[in-house]
Amino acid sequence: MLAADLGAAHATLALCDLSGRPLAEAVHEIRLADGPEPVLGWVEQRWREMLDASGVVAGRVLGLGVSVPGPVDVATGRVVHHTPVLPGWQDHPVRDLLERRFGVVCVVDNDANAMALGEHHTAWPGSSPLLFVKVATGIGAGVVVDGRLLRGADGAEGDIGHVRITSADDGPLCVCGARGCLAASASGRALARALREQGEDVPDSRSVVELASTGHAEATRLVREAGLVIGDVLATAVSLLNPRVLALGGDLALVHHFVGAVCERLYQRTQPQSARGLQVVASGLGDRAGVVGAARLALEEVLSAEAVDRALAGRRQPVP
Ligand SMILES: [Zn+2]
């Protein structure tokens, strides 16, 4: 299995066996903004180098899994609408292109879904439902119920970053063009912008985390405030889903003040029966959740009843 977790500035690539165990894994710097053709050509090249270095012939690869930071129609393997992080990727045939290059099935999904699946199978295989929330440059969520990802009708499930948290038109402007979205106040991008306006050198959400980890008072305050606001929105999700586990991933989940603030607000805003058995945790996989989940997506496709039926039909000998 070959897996790729593509972020705005970093990609994690892996070669895994059929149990999901990584045979090779590497993190590289990339620029998704360069567009799909150069980025996917680069991914193919790195994957082939990984196979060569591991002594695995390309013919033994059974499936590909790719996660991207945007909404995906899993049925077609395409990014469904424009997002600022994925300029030029909308409607590009990511899945079909990679399937043609390698001659095996490929699954493309959004990063929060892949992370949710990776976290579920690695750390919480017996816990259902599991709600995974990624808070990094943007904010997204994935839900795993009885071991399977919950799919929306149009590939937009879990897109909680653009829930409007203010009804007034004077809320902060979001990258989606609307005002008052959760992501415009509480994402890593928003916190980095707020700190830059105060003269700090924080280009991205990881820098916010690094600053907060040094005990910087304003960075810590902003991260905690973001946790409270996200906790407000998640109180609705917890009331709706009654999850057993809420796993927080992405850069901000590395700050314990953030996780604590989400917890604090959740327990204030939900009924005891919704939250009594809820475990709120930071992702155990951390930065690896996406690539582990991407490998799992490929594995589930390769081992699906339909795929096994197709393989058996191809091998079936005629009865004499
Ligand atoms: Zn928005």
pLDDT tens per residue across span 201-227: 999 999 999 999 999 999 999 999 999
CA of 84 relative to ligand 1 center, distance in Å: 11
- Say which DSSP state 212 is in: H
* Residue 122 CA: distances (Å) to CA of 126, 190, 240: 10, 31, 25
- For the segment 49-107, what is each residue's pLDDT rounded down to a tens digit? 999 999 999 999 999 999 999 889 999 999 988 788 888 999 999 999 999 999 999 99
Bridge partner list, 245: 130, 279
Q: What's the CATH superfamily of 2-110?
A: ATPase, nucleotide binding domain (3.30.420.40)
- For the segment 221-269, what is each residue's pLDDT rounded down to a tens digit? 999 999 999 999 999 999 999 999 999 999 999 999 999 999 999 999 9
CA of 183 relative to ligand 1 center, distance in Å: 6
- For the segment 10-49, what is each residue's pLDDT rounded down to a tens digit? 899 999 998 888 999 999 999 999 999 999 999 999 999 9
**Spatial separation of the C-alpha atoms in residues 45 and 47, rounded to whole Å:** 5
Asked whether the bond before 84 is cis by omega within 30 degrees of 0, the reply is no
CA of 179 relative to ligand 1 center, distance in Å: 7
CA of 144 relative to ligand 1 center, distance in Å: 24
Cα 264 from chain centre: 24
CA of 177 relative to ligand 1 center, distance in Å: 6
Q: Is the dihedral of CA 279, 71, 302, 7 positive or negative?
A: negative
- Look at residue 168 and tell me whether its pLDDT is greater than 70: no
- Say which DSSP state 63 is in: E
CATH class name, domain 115-287: alpha beta
**Spatial separation of the C-alpha atoms in residues 253 and 204, rounded to whole Å:** 15
**Spatial separation of the C-alpha atoms in residues 88 and 165, rounded to whole Å:** 29
Provide the pLDDT confidence category of residue 9 given band limits of 50, 70 and 90: confident
- List, in order, residues 6 or more apart from 273 with CB less than 8 Å away: 242
CA of 248 relative to ligand 1 center, distance in Å: 20
Give the other-Cβ count within 10 Å of 256's Cβ.
12
CA of 24 relative to ligand 1 center, distance in Å: 37
Please determine whether the domains at 2-110 and 115-287 fall in the same fold group of CATH. Answer: yes
pLDDT at 275: 84
Q: Tokens representing 250?
A: 């992405």
Domain-wise residue ranges, the chain: 2-110, 115-287
Q: Tokens representing 19?
A: 């149990």
One-letter amino acid at 30 equals: I
CA of 117 relative to ligand 1 center, distance in Å: 25
CA of 167 relative to ligand 1 center, distance in Å: 13
Provide the pLDDT confidence category of residue 152 given band limits of 50, 70 and 90: confident
Q: Is 15 helix (H, G, I), strand (E, B) or coil?
A: strand
In degrees, rounded to 5, the angle at the alpha carbon of residue 15 between the alpha carbons of residues 12 and 17 is: 135
Percentages helix, strand, coil for the chain, rounded to the nearest 5?
45, 20, 35
- For the segment 98-134, what is each residue's pLDDT rounded down to a tens digit? 999 999 999 999 999 999 999 999 999 999 999 999 9
CA of 85 relative to ligand 1 center, distance in Å: 13
Instruction: Please give all residues whose CB falls under 5 A of ion ligand 1, grouped by chain where several chains appear.
Output: 162, 174, 176, 178, 181
In degrees, rounded to 5, the angle at the alpha carbon of residue 196 between the alpha carbons of residues 256 and 172 is: 85
- List, in order, residues 6 or more apart from 317 with CB less than 8 Å away: none
CA of 157 relative to ligand 1 center, distance in Å: 15
Provide the pLDDT confidence category of residue 318 given band limits of 50, 70 and 90: low
pLDDT at 248: 98
